[in-house]
Amino acid sequence: MNILLTNDDGIDSEGILCLADALRSLGKYRVFVLAPDSNRSGVSHGLSIFNEPVKIWQKSIDTWICSGLPVDCVVTAVLGGKPCKPDIIISGINRGVNIGSDILYSGTAAAARQGALMGLPSIAFSLDGWKDYNWSMAAEYSAKHLEDFLKIWKKEIFVNVNIPNSLSGPDGMTITWPCRKHYKDSLSIMQSPDGREWCFLIPGEQITDNEIGSDWEAISKNMVSISPVYIHPVIFKTMCPNAPEHAAGGGVYGG
């Protein structure tokens, strides 16, 4: 059985390297890596192969590099069989959590969403923190519990897993839903030497609603958060009462 492992932090990210080693050590799967040539964080569900060809080349045994985005990596493998025809899509381990609204921006989450859109069991892994990441713990935990996560997957969802950055490891795992997250970012505008203006996003405080049962609460309690995320756009049923059930997410939170 083939696993395609990708990410949005790039081919040299410690998260994907540690996870590849941990998955291969299971001896149950053949693990192929196809990841972007550099950091693609925040690219969401971008698909560059629509506009131009992506290039892939081999780095080492079962490890390949892609010039495109995380979703390009999944499409290339599933439709083209390069570098493998995958049975499972795994994305990560991402540097930092992908909780709440992060899921909308995350290339890590998007790769797993694309896999699920193409009918394959798909999981996104992310590790909490800003520095001093305990990659070995997160990779070993992800590999050890891979089959538990796969049992949660079903058609039309991907499994979004966030792991607390704990030296001793998590205190357990729990099913969660995405919290509401608010970003207090700002924009810096500078004059460039060629007369144009440079615009830089300055990350600010992130405020999370402290909601019981959310992914945020799980992480704050040193628990692994497992969110089964619906892959299709949904509407508020109360505002469109004649919509079919699937258009409201089939009971998904917020629908």
Is residue 123 one of the residues assigned to a domain? yes
Tell me the residue range of the domain where 26 lies: 2-178+210-248
Is residue 188 one of the residues assigned to a domain? no
Say how far apart CA 45 and CA 114 lie, in whole Å.
8
Question: Quick check: 78 pLDDT over 90?
Answer: yes
Are 207 and 181 spatial neighbours (Cβ–Cβ below 8 Å)?
yes
**What pLDDT is stored for residue 252 in this prediction?**
46
Kindly report, residue by residue over 97-116, the tens digit of the pLDDT: 999 999 999 999 999 999 99
Q: What's the mean pLDDT in 151-167?
A: 96
**What pLDDT is stored for residue 250 in this prediction?**
54
Is residue 193 one of the residues assigned to a domain? no
Domain count, the chain: 1
Q: Which pLDDT band, with edges at 50, 70 and 90, does 253 fall under?
A: very low
Is residue 197 one of the residues assigned to a domain? no
The CATH number given to whatever domain includes residue 43 is 3.40.1210.10
Is residue 45 one of the residues assigned to a domain? yes
Kindly report, residue by residue over 40-73, the tens digit of the pLDDT: 999 999 999 989 999 999 999 999 999 999 999 9
Q: Which two tokens stand for residue 181?
A: 């997250």
Chain mean pLDDT for the chain = 93
Q: Which pLDDT band, with edges at 50, 70 and 90, does 208 fall under?
A: confident
**Dihedral sign of CA atoms 98, 103, 109, 112 in order:** positive
Is residue 9 one of the residues assigned to a domain? yes
Question: Quick check: 210 pLDDT over 90?
Answer: no
The residue written with tokens 């079962």 in the block is 62
Is residue 190 one of the residues assigned to a domain? no
**What pLDDT is stored for residue 96 in this prediction?**
96
pTM of this prediction?
0.93
